[in-house]
Amino acid sequence: MMRPRKWSDPGWMLAPTTILLIVFFIAPIGIAVYQSFFSWDLLTPPKAVGGANYLAIFKSGELLRVTGRTLFFSAMVVTGAMSIGLALALLLNRRGLWFSFVRSAVFSAYVVSWVAVALLWLWILDPDRGIVAKGLHVAGVSSVKLLNHPDTVLPVLAGVTVWKITGYAMIMFLTGLQAIPNEVIEAARLDGAGAWSRFRFIIWPMLRPTGTFVGTTSLVISFQAFDVVRVMTQGGPARASTLFVYAIYESIFMNLRVGTASALTVAFFVVLLSLSWLQIRAWRQKA
Amino acid sequence: MPEVSLQGLVKKFAQGNHLALKDVSLDVEAGEFVALVGPSGCGKSTTLRILAGLEEADAGDILLGGVRVNDVPPDQRDIAMVFQGYALYPTMTVRENMGFPLRMRKVKAAEAKERIEKAATLLKIGKLLDRRPHQLSGGERQRVAMGRAIVRNPRVFLFDEPLSNLDAALRTELRVEIAELVRKLGRTAIYVTHDQAEAMTMADRIAVMNQGIVQSYATPRDTYERPATAFVAGFLGNPRMNLLDASVQGRMVRASPFAFEWNGADTVKKVGLRPEELGLADRGIEAKVIGLEPLGAETHVRVEANGQILVLRVRGFAKHRIGDKVHLSPAPAHFHAFDENGDRVEERA
Ligand SMILES: Nc1ncnc2c1ncn2[C@@H]1O[C@H](COP(=O)(O)OP(=O)(O)OP(=O)(O)O)[C@@H](O)[C@H]1O
Ligand SMILES: [Mg+2]
């Protein structure tokens, strides 16, 4: 193995990343942890309150409700994006102009900004003028307000999120598929494996590292969902779509409770970290 | 009835603008070991892949045991193939790799275990069964790939340059083992190789391909001693056969700097002389040494005679140096004559 000539060499090479990590990651978390022990409304000076903020979000049930909602939303997004992304990758992993066009089209949704996506879907789902409503009207169904019903709002937001990030999952899976040598697939064909067996025993095990990566990143993306909520529902109806990040936003900018928001942020960090860790471990074990 | 019969195969790839296979016909008898050789891009792999069912021919028929299998999918042709890159399943252990074809064919676990262990013993990989491919050396991977092919007990083995990624010593060792193994199993095999030594030593018959056509199909000895075309003559043998422009004048063939008595058709346009068929003499045709390649057991001597460059083979180390004047014995015992199209012309008996 190569050894650094001076102990400081690896140090300064890592410095730029380390500085970025400190400024944008470690310091904010530190500040959030610190502020979570204060009560502050941005106007009057902060007051130290100990663990009162944590106790409050826990006792009021707010933390549990928000976490549960976000988990439900994330589960839909992760399974949706991964399964559709994988299916598309398998379907579109061929040569030809047509396939390359469809691949680009699917991926293009990922490049569009979250706000634009949210506005687009808001328009599509508009109960009066949206094309979904018009289509349902033609089919004889009276206007449904998918975004205005507590039971449908989260699946709809999850659908929109899946629509946007599936292109990303697809590209990652395509890259994984292309790393599988053709010879291996052909050997499996000669060994008597049909399409399903080839997928089940050869392709899928070889895609597992890609799957772990896509799973974890889409978990993080879905946990951080904010713009869709902000633009499409503002957390409603009846807080049914108040996801974690939106709840934090609400505490600061609407309720002016920095302490509560900070406590939520710390909780958010802990939940997301442990989920990612669990997920990566689970995938490793199955391999 | 031949075990494998390829009849007039034609293949054009969508991207290519020429025919990869123009007219490939080949009969292989049951239990026969056939080597398929030819320059890069001549269509060897394509031929194997069409036979295996991995590629479809545009025209022509593929018969296995007399049955046309053009439309039979690869998994039902009972053919096993060993790939150049081994194509092992990276996420499976050696045991699982070898067991995969059995598992796909729903062979009972107990029987599969027995067959895997038998094959592993045969290939001396019994100790590696629980490793994964990335924990194996190239030679070991090659053995596992062989093992995966033989546990199936297929009717035909196909090999596409299976040893080309290994070092010379290992190649020599494995080529003996593979040939012995396939003969012991009594199976039919087609073996693509770039390596003349492999073709000569392993095969019952050698098929030489060039530009999508099988140019010659004969025993190794016949292929070497009586090459069917000038191309085959030049392709097999190291160093290559000397090919000289020639013409018939009366009862002589003139191929500068030589002239031979000739009792045959006057269509001869090329004369071929193997390096070992040329000898040095005390007197004869004058020549100048222009290159020496000492290999230990023999030396390849390049000489120029009458404006013509020739290579000859001498035993041991040559005593000559570059620039020396030498003499070539004027009448080599043996030569090969070819016509304008490169086809062999025989002397009248
Ligand atoms: N998938 C493909 N698409 C287009 N052309 C191809 C394809 N596969 C092979 N060819 C062409 O067909 C011809 C024969 O290729 P093939 O692989 O059979 O050669 P080969 O004799 O096996 O050569 P090598 O000794 O280099 O392996 C070549 O001209 C090659 O470029
Ligand atoms: Mg090839």
Burial class (CB in 10 A: 0-12, 13-18, 19+), A68: exposed
Of B74, B89, B90, the CB nearest to A190: B74
On chain A, the residues whose CB falls within 8 A of the CB of B159 are: none
Answer whether A197 touches B (CB < 8 Å): yes
Residue B65 and residue B188 in contact, taking contact as beta carbons nearer than 8 Å: no
- pLDDT value of residue A227: 87
* Helices and strands per DSSP (H, E), number in chain B: 8, 22
On chain A, the residues whose CB falls within 8 A of the CB of B104 are: 191-193, 197
- pLDDT value of residue A117: 86
Calpha distance B46→B60 (Å, rounded): 14
For the stretch A259-275, pLDDT in tens is 888 888 888 888 888 98
User: Residues of B near A (CB-CB distance < 8 A)?
Assistant: 52-54, 73-75, 79-81, 83-85, 87-92, 100-101, 104-105, 148, 152
Question: Are residues A192 and B85, on separate chains, in Cβ contact within 8 Å?
Answer: no
Domain boundaries, chain A: 60-286
Q: Are residues B304 and B215 in the same domain?
A: no
Residue B102 and residue B82 in contact, taking contact as beta carbons nearer than 8 Å: no
Question: Are residues B101 and A287, on separate chains, in Cβ contact within 8 Å?
Answer: no
Question: Are residues B104 and A192, on separate chains, in Cβ contact within 8 Å?
Answer: yes
Residue B22 and residue B213 in contact, taking contact as beta carbons nearer than 8 Å: yes
Q: Are residues B304 and B158 in the same domain?
A: no
Q: Are residues B81 and B128 in the same domain?
A: yes
- pLDDT value of residue A1: 59
Phi, psi values for residue B344, rounded to 5°: -65, 140
Which ipTM value was assigned to this complex? Answer: 0.84
Which candidate, B167, B174, B103, B106, places its Cα nearest to that of B144? B174
Q: Which chain A residue has the Cα nearest residue B160?
A: A183
* A201, pLDDT greater than 90: yes
Q: Hunting for tokens 């390849």 — which residue is that?
A: B300
Calpha distance A150→B267 (Å, rounded): 94
Mean pLDDT, all residues of chain A: 85
Answer whether A208 touches B (CB < 8 Å): yes
Residue B345 CB contacts under 8 Å (≥ 6 apart), including other chains? B264, B265, B267, B268, B337, B338, B339
Question: Are residues A187 and B83, on separate chains, in Cβ contact within 8 Å?
Answer: yes
For the stretch A55-99, pLDDT in tens is 777 788 788 888 899 999 999 999 999 999 999 999 988 888 888
Which candidate, B172, B109, B187, B95, places its Cα nearest to that of B139? B172
Nearest CA to ligand 1 atom 12: B20
Question: Are residues A191 and B52, on separate chains, in Cβ contact within 8 Å?
Answer: no
- The sign of the torsion formed by the CA atoms of B107, B108, B111, B112 equals positive
Answer whether A258 touches B (CB < 8 Å): no
Last residue of one domain, picked from the residues B191, B211, B233: B233
Can you say how many angstroms the Cα of residue B228 is from the centroid of all Cα atoms in its chain? 15
- pLDDT value of residue A187: 94
Answer whether A186 touches B (CB < 8 Å): yes
Nearest CA to ligand 1 atom 28: B41
- What CATH code is assigned to A60-286? 1.10.3720.10
On chain A, the residues whose CB falls within 8 A of the CB of B81 are: 186-187, 190
Residue A47 and residue A262 in contact, taking contact as beta carbons nearer than 8 Å: no
* A286, pLDDT greater than 70: no
* A251, pLDDT greater than 90: no
Closest Cα in chain B, distance from residue A170 (Å): 22
Calpha distance B202→B177 (Å, rounded): 10
Alpha-carbon distance values, B191 to A38, A40, A152, B33, B44 (Å): 78, 80, 63, 7, 10
Last residue of one domain, picked from the residues B233, B266, B292: B233
H/E stretch holding A265? helix A258-286
Q: Are residues B208 and B257 in the same domain?
A: no
CATH of the domain at B121: 3.40.50.300
Q: Are residues B144 and B268 in the same domain?
A: no
Q: Are residues B261 and B303 in the same domain?
A: yes
Q: Are residues B258 and B227 in the same domain?
A: no
Q: Are residues B122 and B73 in the same domain?
A: yes
- pLDDT value of residue A143: 65
Calpha distance B303→B293 (Å, rounded): 12
Calpha distance B224→B274 (Å, rounded): 10
Question: Are residues A183 and B85, on separate chains, in Cβ contact within 8 Å?
Answer: yes
Residues of chain B with pLDDT under 70: none
- How many Cα atoms sit within 13 Å of A142 on the Cβ side? 0
Q: Which two tokens stand for residue B307?
A: 């404006």
Q: Are residues B157 and B282 in the same domain?
A: no
For residue A287, name the pLDDT band (cuts at 50, 70, 90). Answer: low
Whether cis (ω within 30° of 0) applies to the bond prior to B257 is: yes
- pLDDT value of residue B270: 93
For residue B343, the cross-strand partners are B229
Residue predicted with more confidence, B286 or A54: B286
CATH of the domain at B337: 2.40.50.140
Amino acid identity of B24?
V
For the stretch B5-42, pLDDT in tens is 999 999 999 877 789 999 999 999 999 999 999 999 99
Can you say how many angstroms the Cα of residue B230 is from the centroid of all Cα atoms in its chain? 16
For residue A33, name the pLDDT band (cuts at 50, 70, 90). Answer: confident
Strands (E), chain A: 38-39, 47-48
Which candidate, B159, B209, B195, places its Cα nearest to that of B179? B159
- pLDDT value of residue B217: 96
* A31, pLDDT greater than 80: yes
On chain A, the residues whose CB falls within 8 A of the CB of B90 are: 184, 206
For residue B237, the cross-strand partners are none
Answer whether A43 touches B (CB < 8 Å): no
- pLDDT value of residue B9: 94
- The sign of the torsion formed by the CA atoms of B197, B201, B202, B204 equals positive
Long-range contacts of B41-44 (CB under 8 A, 24+ apart): B42/B209, B42/B210, B42/B211, B42/B212, B43/B11, B43/B209, B43/B211, B43/B212, B44/B160, B44/B192, B44/B209
On chain B, the residues whose CB falls within 8 A of the CB of A193 are: 75, 100, 104
Question: Are residues B83 and A287, on separate chains, in Cβ contact within 8 Å?
Answer: no
Closest Cα in chain A, distance from residue B299 (Å): 41
Calpha distance A208→A132 (Å, rounded): 37
Instruction: Calculate how far, in angstroms, residue B48's C-alpha sits from the geometric centre of ligand 2.
Output: 9
Instruction: Calculate how far, in angstroms, residue B195's C-alpha sits from the geometric centre of ligand 2.
Output: 13
Instruction: Calculate how far, in angstroms, residue B10's C-alpha sits from the geometric centre of ligand 2.
Output: 17
Please count the structural domains in chain B. Answer: 2
Q: Which chain B residue has the Cα nearest residue A184?
A: B87
Tell me the percentage of chain A whose pLDDT exceeds 90: 26
* Ligand 1, residues at Cβ distance < 6 Å: B 13, 15-16, 20, 38, 40-46
Question: Are residues A191 and B83, on separate chains, in Cβ contact within 8 Å?
Answer: no
Number of CB atoms found within 10 A of residue B12's CB: 16
Residue A64 CB contacts under 8 Å (≥ 6 apart), including other chains? A58
* A134, pLDDT greater than 70: yes
Question: Are residues A190 and B105, on separate chains, in Cβ contact within 8 Å?
Answer: no
Q: How many CB pairs under 8 A join A and B?
A: 63
Q: Are residues B200 and B304 in the same domain?
A: no
Q: Are residues B184 and B243 in the same domain?
A: no
Last residue of one domain, picked from the residues B233, B254, B280: B233
Calpha distance B241→B220 (Å, rounded): 16
Residue B54 CB contacts under 8 Å (≥ 6 apart), including other chains? A186, A189, A190, B74
Between vectors from CA B195 to CA B191 and to CA B201, what angle results, nearest 5°? Answer: 70
Burial class (CB in 10 A: 0-12, 13-18, 19+), B116: buried
Give the mean model confidence (pLDDT) for residues A198-215: 92
For residue A102, name the pLDDT band (cuts at 50, 70, 90). Answer: confident
Residue B193 and residue B199 in contact, taking contact as beta carbons nearer than 8 Å: yes
DSSP classification of residue A129: T
Which candidate, B343, B339, B327, places its Cα nearest to that of B262? B339
Q: Residue B328 sits in which domain range? A: 239-345
Instruction: Calculate how far, in angstroms, residue B21's C-alpha sits from the geometric centre of ligand 1.
Output: 9
Q: Which two tokens stand for residue B240?
A: 């290559």
Instruction: Calculate how far, in angstroms, residue B46's C-alpha sits from the geometric centre of ligand 1.
Output: 6
Question: Are residues B75 and A197, on separate chains, in Cβ contact within 8 Å?
Answer: no
Q: Are residues B275 and B141 in the same domain?
A: no
Amino acid identity of B189?
A
- pLDDT value of residue B223: 94
Instruction: Calculate how far, in angstroms, residue B36's C-alpha sits from the geometric centre of ligand 1.
Output: 14
* A249, pLDDT greater than 80: yes
Calpha distance B17→B119 (Å, rounded): 44
Instruction: Calculate how far, in angstroms, residue B40's C-alpha sits from the geometric centre of ligand 1.
Output: 8
Of B53, B73, B87, the CB nearest to A187: B87
Residue B313 and residue B299 in contact, taking contact as beta carbons nearer than 8 Å: yes
DSSP classification of residue B134: G
* A283, pLDDT greater than 60: yes
Which candidate, B181, B67, B163, places its Cα nearest to that of B119? B181
- pLDDT value of residue A130: 78
